[in-house]
Amino acid sequence: MEGEKIRQSGFESDVGRESGKDGADGGATAEEAAEAKSAEKTEEMRRERLKRRIEHWIEHNREHAEGFRRAAEEAEALRLHEVSEVLREAARRLEEASSLLEKASSALAAKHGER
């Protein structure tokens, strides 16, 4: 009866085959444990990738905001006051976006015991 399934009171069980489960406590098989560990590692890698993306966006925004401020000074020198003001506002808004991204980064770190 190697590997044959039998029916006992509506409950199917494997007979004559090692299932890899500890019948006493219903623990996970080695395969299930490996899958769980793999899933945990994948999740950790995804969190790390998200963290790096957020950090990149923060730096990228800072660079753009500085470029907007330089362009605003150039527009001011050309007596394009409205253009200068709009560029300064764009720089301010990018800084606000960076502030929100920093909050997201902090929340991610706090959720996973970093920093």
Closest by CA to 73, choosing from 63, 64, 83, is 83
Tell whether the model's pLDDT for residue 13 goes beyond 50.
Answer: no
pLDDT in tens, 42-93: 999 999 999 999 999 999 999 999 999 999 999 999 999 999 999 999 999 9
Closest by CA to 75, choosing from 90, 93, 95, is 90
Please list the residues that pair with 13 across neighbouring strands. 6
Determine if the pTM surpasses 0.85: no
Domains of the chain, by residue range, sit at 30-110
